Chains A and B, each alone.
Chain A
Amino acid sequence: MSHQILQYILSGLSTGAIYSLIGIGFAIIYNSTGIINFAQGEFVMLGGIMTWFFLSVFQLPLIAAMVLAIALSTAVGVLFERLTIRPLRNASPLILVIITIGASILIRGMAMLIWGKDTHSLPMFTGSEPLTVAGATLLPQHLWIFGITLFIIAVNRFYFHHSISGKAMRACSHNRRAAGLVGIDVKRMVLFSFAISSALGSVAGIITAPLTMTSYDVGIMLGLKGFCAAIIGGMSSGIATVVGGLLLGVLESLGAGMVSSGYKDAIAFIILLLILVIRPQGLFKKAETERV
């Protein structure tokens, strides 16, 4: 039984890591623009499906397919900002949020036209021989997920807290007026935030695809889970959202394993509602201003 629980926790942590990456994407855009980008999930889909496409249709090596997929997803994110958010930056947040929903439907529709409705699978990065850890089994892909997520979180942390460009991005989200007065180009920072978020989303989509498969519509559910992680983390683009994602992943996995797998997706929505009603500032937030 305890092996079983460990198994649930481990696989929960791995899905949770994916949610964390997507959640950080939500948070970064929220902090720089004040809007929730509901198209975030589509970048997750684009990452996975484009990697599959380059790999199986163009026969590119896996690593080349991944790099290309990340680059193109990022380009779509940048284009999205340029075409919708920037021209409308004086519109109310509600309108912008609705536009992101529209964009997500558009991107999903295009993906369906281009790549069809089939579900596609990606090969594991390095074999599929399971490892045993204290009685629980793990796939090498799980280790890839943990490793890449950790790496991205570390880079993210370093960027936002130790590089001048990352600090400038945070400065914009804290005090736009003052950021402009020290010469930070706020518009450019918003563009950056879309680029980073779409890149993060696509990476999440790529590393999870070997385990969960991918298709044109995986972005809906993954996007909502990532949103849930960000809400638990109080829209922090740092560690709070990571913990939020892991918590969600583990709870889902325990709930699905010990109660019924039918409840898996419901758990995210229950947590989402509970947090929004009881602690809208997020689970861990002390001061209202600390966002990163």
Chain B
Amino acid sequence: MLRIKNINTYYGQVHALKNVSLHLNAGEIVSLIGANGAGKTTILNSLSAITPPRDGEILFEGKAITGLAPDRIVEMGISQVPEGRQVFKDFSVADNLELGAYLRFRSREKRSIIKQDMEDVFILFPQLSERRKQMAGTLSGGEQQMLAIGRALMAKPKVLLLDEPSMGLAPLVVQEIFRVITRLREEKGTSVLLVEQNAKAALKIADRGYVLETGKVLLEEKASDLLENREVQRAYLGKEKKEIWER
């Protein structure tokens, strides 16, 4: 469904992605793990055309989408939930969701349908429902993450790109968010590319995983195999345990 072929992405002189290839099948949850600075965010931003790759190819449902503008990518059905949530802080919860459907408003889709989708988001995240009129900036971290996901869903994506949704959240909230991700796949068939530092939790809900290191794909395996992989355990799962102890 989504396939990246040998892309190279640069920040000025910095060569952030080196011949990266990966793919995402329809209805699949694929996790992308790697240390800080490995290039995870850059992969998502290359897909979203925020930092377009210098060369290589990106195919979506068989069509090349390389070189399309960010709004066209969203229109095609690829939405990103960015690192650090990036909700519109001075806008109400409802306005944030409405903005998520911006392109659908522009293509003159029926307001009643969009409204209904907004209600669906509220069903998915009941906590947001009570806070429709509240400014997004005053939400808790977990609520902001839910809102960021809800905003992306308002575009009716076929592929959801999630950048570290668990960052800075309490384990219980992380669980809830991950539950929603699996639920989306089951109910709507949404494919998910999940970038995570919290590798263990991510691999548990994923079908496959990629391990990224300094801009290169190091490993690609079934998620269950990666969880068992000694190297991965030492480098990404073990470290986590230590981090938990340190807290």
Contacts and interface: CB of A to CB of B under 8 A. Distances in A.
A178 B82 contact: yes
A236 to B, nearest CB: 12
Contact of A167 (B79, B99, B152): B99
Given A167-B95, A171-B88, A182 B75 contact: no
A117 interface: no
B178 interface: no
A177 interface: yes
B155 to A, nearest CB: 6
Given A167-B98, A171-B91, A177-B50, A182 B74 contact: yes
Interface string A177-189: 1111111110000
A177 B137 contact: no
B87 A178 contact: yes
Contact of B155 (A164, A167, A182): A182
B70 interface: yes
B28 to A, nearest CB: 22
Contacts of B100: 182
Contacts of A182: 74, 79, 99-100, 102-103, 151-152, 155
A174 B86 contact: no
A252 B141 CA distance: 48
Nearest to B72: A183
B181 to A, nearest CB: 18
A175 B48 CA distance: 16
B80 interface: yes
B98 A180 contact: no
Contacts of A292: 90
Interface string A249-287: 000000000000000000000000000000000000000
Contacts of B86: 175, 177-178, 181
B133 interface: no
Interface residues of A, number: 20
A168 interface: yes
Contacts of B69: 185
Contacts of B103: 182-183
B191 to A, nearest CB: 18
Interface string A154-193: 0000000000100110110011011111111100000000
A132 interface: no
Contacts of B106: 164
A291 B88 CA distance: 13
A181 B82 contact: yes
B157 to A, nearest CB: 10
Contacts of A179: 99
Contacts of A175: 86, 88-89
B71 A185 contact: yes
A170 to B, nearest CB: 8
A51 to B, nearest CB: 34
A178 B106 CA distance: 18
A161 to B, nearest CB: 9
B74 A181 contact: yes
B155 A183 contact: yes
Contacts of B152: 181-182
A289 interface: yes
Contact of A184 (B89, B90, B102): B102
B89 A167 contact: no
A164 B74 contact: no
A182 B155 CA distance: 7
A289 B89 contact: yes
B207 to A, nearest CB: 25
14 contacts: A164-B106, A167-B98, A168-B102, A170-B91, A171-B88, A174-B89, A175-B88, A181-B152, A183-B71, A183-B75, A183-B102, A183-B103, A289-B90, A291-B90
Interface of B: 48, 50, 69-71, 74-75, 79-80, 82, 86-91, 95, 98-100, 102-103, 105-106, 137, 151-152, 155
| Closest A-B pairs by Cβ, 3 of them | A183-B74, A178-B86, A183-B103
Given A164-B98, A164-B106, 17 more contacts: A164-B102, A168-B102, A171-B88, A174-B88, A174-B89, A177-B50, A177-B86, A178-B87, A178-B88, A181-B74, A182-B100, A182-B102, A182-B151, A183-B103, A183-B155, A184-B102, A289-B90
